Structure 1
Amino acid sequence: MSDSDSSDEGQCFGFSYKAAVGSDISADAVSESEEEKQEEESGESPHPLRSPRHLQTSEWPWSPVLQLHEEKKFTEKNGALYQLGPELKEIDFFSLFFHPELFELLSTETNKYAHQQISGRADTKWYPTTAEEIKAFLGIHIYMSIVSLPSYKMYWSNDSLFGSFPIKDLMTRDRFEKMLQYYHINDNTTNPTRGHLGHDKLHNVRPVLDAVLEACRTVYFPHRENSIGEATTGFRGNICQNMEEQPCKRHIKIYTRADAHNGFVCEFQIYTGREQDTPELGLRDRIVKSLAAVLKKKNYLIYCDNFFTTQQLFQELYLDGIYACGAVRNNLSWPQELTNRFVAKQPQGYIKQLQCGILTATAWKDNKPLLLLSTYPNPTGTCTIFKKLRDSSILELKCPVVVADYNTH
């Protein structure tokens, strides 16, 4: 999306486009809120660029007249905080997220847990570990994840069938098994029992989790375009999700905010499930607002899929100084001419846009309908895409810029 304040012609991710930006709007969310209260008290009509929050979303007045407004400048820096030279290795990058102090903490907690376990019964094979040994222990796990064998014991085998592995030079198998037995990250005694106030389902990994999250926030500054989505990782435990239709049937669900240009994760949250089987109201809005909290008043642009997109959320993000664009579920309450059923009957290249305050609803028909909701300052920008058909002919289609941007990010 262009940062220009005047009419402009150029390229939109390889597509030619022509866009224009027009009338001005208020940039202060607080003052807008105060103005809205004054309008309600005086009986005046609401600001034309602000959606009527007092109405149900199905009652919002959508208009085919698209209003342009000034795009607020994005001035934040982006890129890596540190530049790693060609002489550095993978371990140097790993150290940006796993600081030396963390190895010290892990050795302390492991020794503490071992002491708690053997206080009543002696374990002659155990002796205190160190930060360097913890580093080697984690390195062995990373190596095992890359060079996979049916059993971890095979890495110490002398049989030439399995080859010769460097692991045996770092640690004996007996010592590795003892490290597995006592390895610990956090003190169990400091976590309240389940069901009590303050209980943390992620207590066992909290120090590492917080350290990595803080590194993600500080070692890299994202571009203006950010994407919010969902990731999963295989896991078996109390906080795992069961998805029988997925290849990985048991996994942890992780919500992320990443740089849309390269996928670097700047913020993440691990979903730990419902509390006592109580449905979480407003979960999607809470996730997006939490992941985007540090972006407020900086004019970032967030892309998301149809799980997160709602009219109320996008308006609140705009009042917080964050632009948004997202796909829409077909069951979202909005005009009939923007539903999947209606758009699917239209010819390829069909475009329909309606506006309600700052919100713009866009429907575009390619092979299938695409429904988007956005707070783009200029919803009228279009570009031309060229599609190669089966008979090698080229089909030229007019496409809204918001659609091209969404497909890119």
Structure 2
Amino acid sequence: MPPVQKGHLFSVQDVIAAVQNGESDFEMDSDDTDASEMDKENQQPIDCPANDDVDIKFRWLKKEFISPNTDFSGSEITNDATSLLTPLEYFQKFVTEDMIETLTRNTNEYSLQKNGTSVNTNNKEIEKMLGMYLKMGLMQMSGVRMYWETDTRYTPASDVMSRNRFQSLLTSLHFINNLTVSEMEKKDKLWKLRPWLNSFRERCLQVVPEEHNSVDEMMIPFKGRFSNIKQYMRGKPHPWGFKLWMEYDKSELGLSGDVVMKLASTLPEGQNYKIYADNYFTCVPLVVKLLERGIHYVGTARQVRLPDCNLEDEKSLKKKGRGSFDVQVEGNHNICAVKWYDNRAVTLVSSFAGPEPVQKIQCWDKATKTIIDVERPYIVGTYNKHMGGVDLLDSFAAKYKFPMKSHRWYIYIFWHTIILAVINSWLLY
């Protein structure tokens, strides 16, 4: 399998398959710079569904877009709680005592099967290890041993557990009894972590979703020829999001469309939830499929995913000046496409947001070196307001690096769920 190319998005299955085929030596590589959204405007995505693959016909017209009624009828996220829980109680909403108990039992069994002697840990010691991991991530050092060395000793970790005991637990962590797993279950590439992931996802799904949800990919750093494992998630925009772990298979909508549909399946139908995503995910058949479930969508779009939608080209809009835009409406499904020119042109598609009301915003003009008023369509404003929550979490998680190396690649996914549990706990608080 070729090395990662910038701008190319690999699914979780792609990365795991490469790891299982021995194509990873787990050497650190944290560079993950994608091409800008504007530069990808006219590139054909490899998973974009062909027009003939989707049995939906589109008819784009030059007419006024009439926004449908999108009043939200879902559950309120607040409740009548009169007192706050402790930080641990919030954390245990996502990492429960039962999950810790199962982890402890499987860790003891695995160490016995591997070494002939059990590591003989207990729930309290596993909880201490998780706490040490979080503390050590706040005070980052180049290696685990440094937290116990005389000159660099970090007492929040070193006073809790000895270095040898800590490393022994790390190498023994296990999430399933290998001897009880069938060959059918082992066809799942995440079978060693599957019980933990299922439990964690079940806890996440118990959180009441908000009206506005952004969808984006997120990187799980690990060391190998593939610099990261990608995870797709649904999030809230301010300041981070509730995350769900899922894997995806391609469908008639392509991988990116399938991602959004499966995340949207966790939202109740017919209650006017709104989803926001960038141009990697957006295609018109996806917007139609979401509308059938009573879920609305706003996203930037690549021109190649808008067949027969004859919006003005960038040169024409540039001549009209900053703030100029063009609108097309899909007549069969009432979907609006807006191309807006600021410093460059960007195209957005929505099932509920159009150009009106046009807003006046202040922008810096390089030519005159002054602040000028620029017209901005409503669809652009609502996208900017509600998109980006996953990117904030991605940036936070990327900075939270743990110095312990492991050849068991799925351990990095486990630690990632711990970080997500902490952030989810903070959001509930």
Same-fold status (TM-score > 0.5)? yes
User: Which amino acid is 1:398 matched to?
Assistant: E
Shift of 1:55: 10
| C-alpha spacing 1:129/1:354, structure 2 compared with 1 (3 Å) | same
Verify: 1:291 aligned to 2:263, yes or no. yes
Matches within 5 A, 1:41-190: 60-68=58-66, 70-79=68-77, 89-119=86-116, 123=117, 126-157=118-149, 159=150, 161-163=151-153, 165-190=155-180
Shift of 1:281: 7.1
Secondary structure of the corresponding residue to residue 96 of structure 1: coil
| 2:295 matched residue in structure 1 | 322
| 1:301 matched residue in structure 2 | 274
State the TM-score, normalizing by the size of structure 1: 0.71
Secondary structure of the corresponding residue to residue 312 of structure 1: helix
Matches within 5 A, 1:3-402: 60-68=58-66, 70-79=68-77, 89-119=86-116, 123=117, 126-157=118-149, 159=150, 161-163=151-153, 165-192=155-182, 199-219=187-207, 221-236=208-223, 242=226, 250-270=227-247, 282-295=254-267, 296-332=269-305, 333-340=307-314, 342-357=316-331, 358-376=334-352, 380-389=356-365, 391=368, 393-402=370-379
**RMSD of Structure 2 on Structure 1 (CA):** 3.2
Q: Give aligned pairs, total.
A: 331
Match of 1:406 among 371, 377, 383: 383
| 1:28 matched residue in structure 2 | none
Shift of 1:215: 2.3
Secondary structure of the corresponding residue to residue 331 of structure 1: helix
| C-alpha spacing 1:130/1:65, structure 2 compared with 1 (3 Å) | same
| C-alpha spacing 1:305/1:83, structure 2 compared with 1 (3 Å) | farther
Shift of 1:151: 3.0
Instruction: List per-residue Cα deviations over 1:5-51 (Å, max 9, x = no partner).
Output: xxxxxxxxxxxxxxxxxxxxxxxxxxxxxxxxxxxxxxxxxxxxxxx
Instruction: List per-residue Cα deviations over 1:207-230 (Å, max 9, x = no partner).
Output: 3222222222223x2331111111
Identity %: 27
Secondary structure of the corresponding residue to residue 79 of structure 1: coil
Shift of 1:344: 4.5
Shift of 1:377: 6.2
Contact 1:305 1:326 in 2 (8 A): yes
1:398 and 1:363 map into 2 onto residues whose CA distance is 13
Contact 2:111 2:119 in 1 (8 A): no
State the TM-score, normalizing by the size of structure 2: 0.68
| C-alpha spacing 1:313/1:339, structure 2 compared with 1 (3 Å) | farther
Contact 1:351 1:364 in 2 (8 A): yes
- Which sits farther off after the overlay, 290-299 or 304-313? 290-299
Which is higher, the Rg of structure 1 or of structure 2? 1
Contact 2:68 2:352 in 1 (8 A): no
Contact 1:338 1:371 in 2 (8 A): no
Greater RCO (CA < 8 Å, at least 6 residues apart): 2
Shift of 1:189: 3.3
Q: Which is richer in strand? A: 1
Contact 1:257 1:268 in 2 (8 A): no
Unaligned runs of 5+ in 2: 1-50, 387-429
| 1:37 matched residue in structure 2 | none
Contact 2:148 2:158 in 1 (8 A): yes
1:283 and 1:363 map into 2 onto residues whose CA distance is 25
Shift of 1:379: 5.1
Secondary structure of the corresponding residue to residue 204 of structure 1: coil
| C-alpha spacing 1:260/1:78, structure 2 compared with 1 (3 Å) | farther
User: Which amino acid is 2:241 matched to?
Assistant: F
| C-alpha spacing 1:264/1:152, structure 2 compared with 1 (3 Å) | same
